[in-house]
Amino acid sequence: MTGIAALLGALGAVAFGFGILSAILSLFQPVTDEYFVWLGLNLIVGVLLLGGATFSSLDSLRERMASGEAKRVGRYGASALLGTVFAIAILCMLAFLSTRYSARFDWTEAQINTLSEQTLELLERLDRDVEITAFFNAAAAPPIRDLLDRYAHESDRVSLVFADPNHRPDLVEAFGIGDEDLARGLVRVSMGEAHFDLGEFSESEVTNALLRLTRGEERKIYFLENHNERAIEGERAVGGAGYSQAVAALRNETYEVESLFLAAAGSVPEDADLVVVAGPTRPLADVEHEALDRFVASGGAIMVLLDPRANTDLAEDLRGWGIEVGEDVIFDARLALFGQATSPFSGGYAEHPITEKLRDAVLFRLARSVVPVEGEAFAQSIVFTGEESWAERDLEGWAETGNARYDADDLLGPVSLMIAGEREVEAATEPGADDASDGHDSKSSRIVVVGDSDFASNELIGGSQNRDLFVNAVNWLVDDTDQISIRPPVSRASRFQMTGDTFLRIQLLSLFVVPEMIAATGVFAWWMRRKRQV
């Protein structure tokens, strides 16, 4: 058997042999569907190739007699020439297309080399040109260039200039940049006459600079204090129960954040866009209740994070705003952190601007139910627990025995964990104002209530999508819905989770696919060497 028949016969033997070996191994261990496909293809291809080799060898003598050396050289020479011409043409076409189109790929698990959805949406909304000028020496420029190139790549509105201070002293002088800024590097983001100088270089910093330039105004958020709420400053703020990371996330969105001692102030400051009441455990003074009522009635926004069994009197205020907080604790043995039934994950979201872009679960700890008051259309539930959860109302029995189980008096899941509500109110306008037809102007008050304050604490806010839920809720409350999105990912070690099927696929690849490819390559090498010797 010679010529093409020898090649077909050798390849057929390789395919059929590996098919037989695959069949033998399948008798001793479980295999995947792909394994059976591989086995069947090898056996079928092997039989066809062996059959083709047998049939071809019958005419081998006639083929040998009819083939001359010149004819063979001409045929294979022409084939090689045509193949080379086609290969060069394809390479030229690819080179041409590469000058017209570009594509980027990010193979990291957390997609840390891809701009976040929030940044992409901001770039899409740009209606004015932005110029980014980076002052770095040549050695320090590459990592900053990689980041800023992504902005220029995604938007035609963004122009990028890299200036080496040693080569562009004219720009340094024109921008009025000092020696200290030049020593550590500086990025200036400009939109018209306005600009921001950045000393820290990350996607968050660059995107926030764009936000400030496009927004044109600051939003002010006050956190109520003096009722044992979650701390936002001082030593308590940096502990696991503190809110330093939540505040940092808000400031990262260009919001101003301050504490508010409402009993001393007597009323909510006029510059307040939002008041946050995060986990109080003591009652409020009468003057504080009245101040919050006036703030909501005048079109203000408020967020209340209320833990179970908290010794506070906010429940009456919430009921007056159309929201009922349950005297209960939520249990979910199936959809919970490491089986800790009182640390449930969210099991679903309702359609709402706060939750529409959330893809993953949010983790809560020791949470209570929050539902709209019956007959109230003002508020809607937007975050729920899993199907097998319930809200345990026999808290005394649970405290005494340490056991909880669902009974007819409990609230069966999915249990509402979070409420968002909006209501139009009439706010008085200044006399003589252009739109003051009757002395009043229509505004909206917004409220978000969550039956847990742990989810935004330092201990939990970095996991799952806790940070996104908290910041999205603030964005919606201050009517900054363009900012509702998923924040830039954080770099982390990539992990490969291997399942049983994945292991079997890797085994198939390493024991059969790769060795068979090597064997087939060896057959071709043997055949080509044998041809040259003929």
Q: What is the pLDDT of residue 368?
A: 94
Q: Does position 118 have pLDDT exceeding 70, yes or no?
A: yes
Helices (runs of H) and strands (runs of E) counted in the chain:
17, 19
CB atoms within 10 A of CB 491: 10
Alpha-carbon span 335 to 389, nearest angstrom? 8
Average pLDDT over residues 449-472: 91
Q: What is the pLDDT of residues 411-425, one digit of tens each?
A: 998 999 999 999 888
Indicate the CATH number of 217-483 among 3.30.70.20, 1.10.3720.10, 3.30.565.10, 3.40.50.880.
Answer: 3.40.50.880
Q: Which residues are bridge partners to 211 per DSSP?
A: none
296 by DSSP, 3-state: which? helix
Confidence of residue 281 (pLDDT cuts 50, 70, 90): very high
Per domain, the residue ranges of the chain are: 3-100+498-533, 117-204, 217-483
User: At 326, which amino acid appears?
Assistant: G
Query: pLDDT confidence of 492, banded at 50, 70, 90?
Result: very low
Lowest mean pLDDT across 43-57, 138-152, 309-323, 419-433: 419-433
19-55 pLDDT per residue, tens: 787 777 777 666 677 777 877 888 888 888 777 777 7
Average pLDDT over residues 363-371: 93
Q: How large a percentage of the chain has pLDDT more than 70?
A: 81
Determine if residue 234 is left, alpha or beta; phi over 0 gives left, psi from -120 to 50 gives alpha, anything else beta: left
Asked: is 117-204 a CATH 3.40.30.10 domain? The reply is yes
In this structure, the number of other CB atoms found within 10 A of the CB of residue 238 comes to 13
Nearest 5 degrees, angle CA 64-CA 67-CA 73?
125
Q: Which helix (H) or strand (E) holds 192?
A: none
- pTM greater than 0.85: no
